[in-house]
Structure 1
């Protein structure tokens, strides 16, 4: 693949003229990215340094989500910040476009799939503890799926983004965000349909169904079946932790997913403003940037809130 091949005609395009000032987008991205990155590193420090946290099996998926969202903070969002500041992809080279495609798709898809898995796994952790009673069962039901869901998206996008020969003749549009948003493999219908359905539609369906089912099952077991307050207190944080991540993710991600489905289904209204796509992409980025804060709030307060309170000067 000749990554030095460019097409200077792309500079003649007008690009997107968004209603929101590019400076607002730039500063919002920058502030959120810096604060989210700091929060992610703080979370990982807490998870890794505190044995009670990293040994808790319910935190393993959360740790994986934190790592994948940090990948977005460090590899994807900086390109968006540069684009918002300069108005072009910089430096304007094919390799930057390919790396941006990979960073954007791989990290977001990993987070998407991990939240879907976490939403499903919560049912096992809360209602089927015996399934994880032995080391063999934990490896089969917990560790193996988690490792697979962490590695699979990166393997797929390495093959989809870096290997295709279409990159040799692809016209990289450096005036458009993400060099025109869609990688060159998007022109291959079977691959892009697999990408959308498996990495977009399916995980969000799983998140929605499992989250609703989890809420119903918890309410049923707490108020109707067992009426055991001790049992509810034990699992309340498990439920709230995953539900909060799932709800925030769905709120920010579903509009983009619906748009993509309508577009590829050729049922998108012809009079819809194409700039809407830009805003929906920004929403998905903001979603990832907010996840560390949601995770932080779900941690026991003794690991962060009380410590900060003790450091505040007394009035």
Structure 2
């Protein structure tokens, strides 16, 4: 590569980073604000918050909010300056630990919600029994929150490595954790079990749920109303589709690379497909607003009350001015 080619490459990278920074920042701010509004809504509406089909969604939103507030700003900082700062192995180790943990926690929560939705739609009475509620609802959620932390603590934090493999010119230090580079078995397990399996469960559970709901509507033999079934089904389908759209490109390319073509779309994977994963945390709050009618009504009420308050304040101010005159 001559000097001209090198300069063009650097300029292209710089432009790509600036575009990514702008897009992520523009999408992050409203997503952050919407997440806060949703939290306030759940705090003020205890009945809605404690509904079984909303409890897991609230946990998912909390994990998503952590990504918006703590890990996404690190990505924004990289795209703003063009390099990892501070450029030390310890920073990369902990950054990838938190990033990978939140990724997989979010995926497993979505897969668990997809499976649990079958119980809520067709066998909701089971969760009224305490031990069954703990077994089928609480314990899977505890697993989703604890397993990723334990796995990546051993795979990233405790894995013997000197840190010299990190690439400080690429986002997330080049995804160059030692277990991914030097332990093919563990790396393949991570990609297949921690990333691929939840997406497969997610897709299969959604397809089966749609089929069962259609059959249920035809038979009309269950006590659960069709309206409630449709609402919970649409809610799950929209959120699951967001995950599938964000993760499918990188997962498909990753499978092809694992099967024996390590350079297949490598540049596209690094520069574009891996960034699509951010779609989840950036658009999830918007989906919540569209799928919780009570939340949308509450937000409209807040806006209406604020407008009335501003209107009253304006009238009072004008009256005072008129009296002074």
Does residue 115 in structure 1 map to residue 110 in structure 2?
Answer: yes
Corresponding residue for residue 237 of structure 2: 243
Alpha-carbon shift at residue 81 of structure 1 (Å): 0.5
Alpha-carbon shift at residue 73 of structure 1 (Å): 1.1
Shift of the 107–176 alpha-carbon distance from structure 1 to 2, 3 Å rule, reads: same
Within 2, Cα distance between the matches of 1:304 and 1:31? 21
Q: CA RMSD in A?
A: 2.4
Q: In 2, are the aligned partners of 1:22 and 1:85 still within 8 Å (CA)? A: yes
Give structure 2 stretches of 5+ with no counterpart.
Answer: 1-8, 312-325
How many residue pairs were aligned?
299
Q: In 1, are the aligned partners of 2:31 and 2:285 still within 8 Å (CA)? A: yes
Alpha-carbon shift at residue 306 of structure 1 (Å): 4.1
| 1:18-57 equivalences in 2 (<5 Å) | 18=13, 21-57=16-52
Alpha-carbon shift at residue 275 of structure 1 (Å): 3.5
Does residue 262 in structure 1 map to residue 273 in structure 2?
Answer: no
Shift of the 221–309 alpha-carbon distance from structure 1 to 2, 3 Å rule, reads: farther
TM-score, normalised to structure 2's length?
A: 0.85
Within 2, Cα distance between the matches of 1:174 and 1:268? 21
Alpha-carbon shift at residue 237 of structure 1 (Å): 2.1
Give the secondary structure class of the aligned counterpart of 1:180.
Answer: helix
Within 2, Cα distance between the matches of 1:238 and 1:44? 20
Corresponding residue for residue 177 of structure 2: 183
Within 2, Cα distance between the matches of 1:15 and 1:200? 32
Corresponding residue for residue 133 of structure 2: 138
Q: In 1, are the aligned partners of 2:166 and 2:176 still within 8 Å (CA)? A: no
Corresponding residue for residue 94 of structure 2: 99
Alpha-carbon shift at residue 236 of structure 1 (Å): 2.4
Does residue 297 in structure 1 map to residue 290 in structure 2?
Answer: yes
Q: Which one has a bigger Cα radius of gyration?
A: 2
Does residue 221 in structure 1 map to residue 225 in structure 2?
Answer: no
Within 2, Cα distance between the matches of 1:190 and 1:16? 38
1:174 to 168, 187, 194: 168
Q: Which has the higher helix share?
A: 2
Corresponding residue for residue 58 of structure 2: 63
Shift of the 97–126 alpha-carbon distance from structure 1 to 2, 3 Å rule, reads: same
Alpha-carbon shift at residue 15 of structure 1 (Å): 7.8
TM-score, normalised to structure 1's length?
A: 0.87
Q: In 1, are the aligned partners of 2:122 and 2:224 still within 8 Å (CA)? A: no
Shift of the 277–173 alpha-carbon distance from structure 1 to 2, 3 Å rule, reads: closer
Corresponding residue for residue 3 of structure 1: none
Within 2, Cα distance between the matches of 1:164 and 1:274? 27
Alpha-carbon shift at residue 43 of structure 1 (Å): 1.6
Shift of the 245–127 alpha-carbon distance from structure 1 to 2, 3 Å rule, reads: same
Within 2, Cα distance between the matches of 1:229 and 1:306? 33
Corresponding residue for residue 276 of structure 2: 283
Within 2, Cα distance between the matches of 1:240 and 1:305? 22
Give the secondary structure class of the aligned counterpart of 1:246.
Answer: helix
Within 2, Cα distance between the matches of 1:311 and 1:230? 39
| Higher normalized contact order (CA 8 Å, seq sep 6+, divided by chain length) | 1
Q: In 2, are the aligned partners of 1:259 and 1:268 still within 8 Å (CA)? A: no
Alpha-carbon shift at residue 307 of structure 1 (Å): 3.6
Q: In 2, are the aligned partners of 1:72 and 1:103 still within 8 Å (CA)? A: no
Q: In 1, are the aligned partners of 2:89 and 2:163 still within 8 Å (CA)? A: no
